[in-house]
Structure 1
Amino acid sequence: MLFVMALATGIRAYAAGNGLSGINEATSMVTSYFDPGTKLIYAIGAVVGLIGGIKVYSKWSSGDPDTSKTAASWFGACIFLIVAATILRSFFL
């Protein structure tokens, strides 16, 4: 009986060691994607900013009275992308 209990304890300790190394490996794999992901989000923010600038300029040139609302919405979208990427990076790393 004592032998069976010792064997079960050894198996549990071995399984916990493999699980811990698997979790550590998964964590390192996930954190390795944050730098390229952050750069991708910054690039998307730059493209959105350029598109928004063109749209605002075209509305402003045509004399549309809704220009300030459009500029605020595009600018807010760019700021959101940059802040979201920074907060996610600081939260998870």
Structure 2
Amino acid sequence: MKVKLKRYYLNLKKYSALLLLSLIYLSSSAQDGNAGIQKANTEVRSYFQSGVQLMYAVGALVGLIGAVKVYQKWNGGDQDTSKVAAAWFGSCIFLVVVATIIKSFFGV
């Protein structure tokens, strides 16, 4: 029992020292990484406006295709026209809401 306890404490000391050295290394290298993280932040934020515009464009395209699809089903007398119209309308609303949330969340 004493041998297992000694081995446990020895392993605990080794892993604690390893963890401490790892934390020291990470904290010293993190100061160099802050500039890189800040640069990545500004680059990603510069793409948000384009992404929001792309989502609006995809929403418009989905809206046009869905409107034609609903119109064809309506003229064909299909029974599931309301289901297709609801799905089409929901997808358009979803894309607009997601684009607006991204815009407001990231302050673009």
What TM-score bracket applies, with the shorter chain setting the length?
0.7 to 0.9
Q: 1:32-71, aligned counterparts within 5 Å?
A: 32-71=46-85
Name the larger-Rg structure.
2
Q: 1:20-35, aligned counterparts within 5 Å?
A: 20-35=34-49
Deviation at 1:15, TM superposition (A): 6.0
Say if 1:70 and 1:15 are closer, same or farther in 2 by CA, change over 3 A: closer
Deviation at 1:92, TM superposition (A): 2.6
Alignment partner, residue 7 of structure 1:
none
Q: Show structure 1 runs of 4+ deviating over 3 A.
A: none
Gaps of 5+ in 1: 1-11
TM-score by length of 1: 0.78
3-state secondary structure, aligned to 1:33: helix
TM-score by length of 2: 0.68
Alignment partner, residue 84 of structure 1:
98
Separation in 2 of the partners of 1:66 and 1:78?
19
Gaps of 5+ in 2: 1-27
Tell me how large the CA RMSD over aligned residues is: 1.6
The count of corresponding residues between Structure 1 and Structure 2 is 80
Q: Deviations over 1:41-74 (max 9, x none)?
A: 1000000000000000000001112111110100
